[in-house]
Chain A
């Protein structure tokens, strides 16, 4: 079931990606759509954070749309657990998955099970599964062809002879039940020099020789592009990774039927070609179009989502970014100032408040997102992003409010009391204005932190300027990274400047002389 709170926000999140009529009125229409559109919920397709998953997500979306079913695609939401939880929690309706992953990560079964057994187990969890799409994307270890030939390495067993080789493995592979640790046991690999590295960055590391071996997917386009070889899994360690779509059993039947039409239509060669095309043109939707063109020769139609010009995309990212940072900042202010007032009185409660706000700050932002995602109310949504940002924004405001109030000289506090002002009037007329400089500087700190941290919201599909940064990282494309990073930096500067101006309006003149 979909959590019902903040429906407006969820709606915004959904519709921010749809309905993009052209013309100079676009920004207004866009705003209009954001605020007022209230059509039926589209089918939401999720994808993991790598090219093939993006492409499959686009193919699913296109298939659904062609069948007349409103659909949207939330790209690159994260790893298996995040997607699975999002599916179970109803934040998404379907996503591409692999049978091997289901077996080991989701169902946690140790023996080899048949497709039918998997389907039965999933059915009990309210999740359906299509038949295999037609290709097996298993994990593999890859090396540069030249080095493999020089050392005479052909199989994974051959690696035993070269214990000095440096491995760069994705964090997911390092942790997976069917990943590095059991692989090392099975092959008795002696290597000690193992680093965790992002999948896309790993290819650069491999190319420049800073690592020698890395994990990959067997349909990965980078294998051919970078002249790499897949080491033979001579002990048959890796399970089969047939690509399928998982979907909520409760999804509308015509959507299920549409996804079913994809069964058996994608072989490995075709998938590698689509992946390669996606990475070459940096455009998943166009690569997905190839699938349809190749299949039924349908006319290629312009893809709205990616047909956007850069200024439009930038406007969309920036607007969303400001929504994320602005809304969370507002919450931080509304909650932080009262907490700061309470904390300024000291005592046990004050210590607890400051302690809590401090502890939140020490949790890495990525970890905080990961902690929130599995909770019932949150999941993969803008709510989660805003909540995380709100929590981060809290400490500077709480602390500055508390210290600003505590720094008011005792003689002035007593003067306010002796005058006969009521407690509320003391706070409102005297204490808060006197602490305004400190409070505002706390808000300014929160705002700048939030602009920076909001880039991480893209990791859980909440959009913003982090979107190009994450895709850029994924595609190993510096230009795309900068498309998000530069505007984010500029935004932070503008916010700083805006608050400097605000100081002059909000801090009483008597305190600025």
Chain B
């Protein structure tokens, strides 16, 4: 198995507060890696470090075997899809324009982008009729589907999802979870997924990475975490959510 993304001794601090202690992480190709942990544990920060929304203080990040630097990041970003909790859709653009924005920016042909758009609306089960709507005219679930289409538009090698379903009501959330999993499988997509919900993590993960207070506490399949917890926090975290996770 090869690692698409490799973080080595990456750390980040804000003033005196340490956000990430030196951390090592590999995101395996074609697998879904889930970052989980309580709020403020640094899981989103790790994601944002990878796509360079924030600069690491130390350590190195490799993408596809090459170090990520401020010089090459803008090109690399086109090979990475990024979806956040609120969708991050631009309110002044229609769903279609949001999805096509980047493809147009790099000068893809009209035919090519149209075909890809139809493919994606099919893949994400987003009705073509809604493509002319503005974000405010769409429901939360619909917005996340558009956001996913935008992230997948350029067929990225890596998909970064930062609590993409966190703001949705349970029924919509369940439907999207199912669709997302199907999409990942169909595309053989490499995914780094951030959530604080253990059930969601178990549902998606090939590998779970549990974080607490800026440190990676344990990684592995859920069975490892359950049966061989690396420290008391792991058991505590799993037990706290067991009611939901194991039923």
Contacts and interface: CB of A to CB of B under 8 A. Distances in A.
A433 B92 CA distance: 7
A50 to B, nearest CB: 56
A348 interface: no
Nearest to B134: A510
A420 B90 contact: no
Contacts of A417: 53, 77
Interface stretch (A138-146, A421-429, A463-471): A421-429
Contacts of B69: none
A511 B89 CA distance: 12
29 contacts: A411-B86, A412-B90, A414-B53, A414-B84, A414-B88, A415-B82, A415-B88, A416-B90, A418-B53, A419-B101, A420-B75, A420-B76, A420-B77, A420-B102, A421-B102, A421-B105, A422-B105, A429-B101, A429-B105, A430-B92, A434-B90, A508-B92, A508-B93, A510-B90, A510-B92, A510-B135, A511-B91, A513-B134, A513-B136
Given A417-B53, A430-B90, 7 more contacts: A411-B84, A414-B88, A418-B51, A421-B101, A422-B74, A508-B93, A510-B91
Contacts of B134: 509-510, 513
B145 interface: no
Nearest to B51: A418
B137 interface: yes
Interface in B43-99: 48, 51, 53, 74-78, 80, 82, 84, 86, 88-94
Interface string B96-125: 000001100100000000000000000000
Contacts of B86: 411
Interface residues of B, number: 27
B88 A411 contact: yes
Contacts of A419: 77, 82, 101-102, 150
Nearest to A418: B82
B77 A418 contact: yes
A436 B78 CA distance: 27
Interface of B: 48, 51, 53, 74-78, 80, 82, 84, 86, 88-94, 101-102, 105, 134-137, 150
B77 to A, nearest CB: 3
Contacts of A511: 91-92
Contacts of B78: 420
A415 B102 contact: no
Contacts of A434: 90-92
Across the A-B interface, give the 6 residue pairs with the lowest CB-CB distance, nearest first.
Answer: A415-B88, A420-B77, A508-B92, A510-B134, A418-B82, A420-B78
B164 to A, nearest CB: 13
B84 A415 contact: yes
A418 B50 CA distance: 10
A511 B137 CA distance: 11
B52 to A, nearest CB: 8
Contacts of A418: 51, 53, 77, 80, 82, 88
Interface in A257-274: none
B139 to A, nearest CB: 15
Interface string A501-513: 0000000111101
Contacts of B91: 412, 434, 510-511
A509 B53 CA distance: 29
Contacts of A429: 101, 105
A166 B88 CA distance: 70
A510 B138 CA distance: 12
A140 to B, nearest CB: 68
A353 to B, nearest CB: 26
A419 B99 CA distance: 10
A510 B93 contact: yes
A328 B242 CA distance: 68
A415 B150 CA distance: 11
Contacts of A414: 48, 53, 84, 88
B210 to A, nearest CB: 25
Contacts of B74: 420, 422
Contacts of A508: 92-93
A430 B51 CA distance: 19
Contacts of A436: 92
Nearest to B136: A513
Contacts of B51: 418
Contact of A415 (B75, B90, B92, B105): B90
Interface string A427-448: 0011001101000000000000
Nearest to B54: A414
Contact of B94 (A411, A412, A416, A510): A510
A138 to B, nearest CB: 69
Nearest to A437: B92
Nearest to B95: A510
A434 B90 CA distance: 8
Contacts of B53: 414, 417-418
A434 B135 CA distance: 13
A291 B82 CA distance: 85
Interface in A401-417: 411-412, 414-417
A513 B137 contact: yes
Interface string A479-513: 00000000000000000000000000000111101
A430 B134 CA distance: 14
Contacts of B102: 419-421
A111 B77 CA distance: 82
Nearest to A410: B53
Nearest to B104: A429
A425 B78 CA distance: 14
A510 B82 contact: no
B130 to A, nearest CB: 14
Contacts of A509: 92, 134
Contacts of B77: 417-420
A433 B98 CA distance: 13
A433 B82 CA distance: 22
Contacts of B101: 419, 421, 429
Contacts of B135: 510
Nearest to A436: B92
A433 B75 CA distance: 24
A436 B93 CA distance: 13
Contacts of A422: 74, 105
Interface string A201-241: 00000000000000000000000000000000000000000
